Amino acid sequence: MEALGIRFTELGDGFLRGTMPVDARTHQPYGLLHGGASVALAETLGSSAGMLAARGDAVVGLEINANHLRAVRSGIVTGTARPLHVGRSTQVWEIRIEDEGGKPVCISRITLAVLPRPPASGQA
C-alpha cells in the first residue's frame, strides 16, 4: 500500500473507501494509470473490507477481475468497495474506482474465501 500511495479514507455502513495517486509510481509506460495499479487498489479495498466483515476470521482472495473503462494521466483515483455477498465461507465485493470528476475508471469484483479462526489453545 505504501509503495503505491494507497490510503484508506472512509469506512461507512456497507462500504470502505480509499485513494491512490496517479503518478510515476502508478503509471504504465505511456504515462497512463497502470491497470495493475487499479487492480492493486481494488484488491486492497476488497480484501480489507472482507476482513472487517469476517469479524476475526481470515479472508484470502480466490479471484479478481477488472474492467478498465477510462484512462487517467494524473491526480487521484478513489475506490469504493461494497459487498455483493457476505457469507460464512465466501464473500464477493464490487470495487468502483473513479477519477477526481467522479467518472468511472475501473470496475472490479473480488471473490474471497473466509477461513474460520482456529479454536483457541486447549479447545477442540
Cell numbers of 20, please? 491512490
Cα(80)–Cα(48) distance, integer angstroms = 11
Catalytic residue among 2, 10, 43, 100: 43
Helices (H), the chain: 35-54
CA 24, 63, 17, 98: dihedral to nearest 10 degrees?
Answer: 60
What CA dihedral angle connects 62, 105, 5 and 100, to 10 degrees?
-150
Q: Is position 94 annotated as part of the catalytic site?
A: no
Q: Could you list the active site residues? A: 43
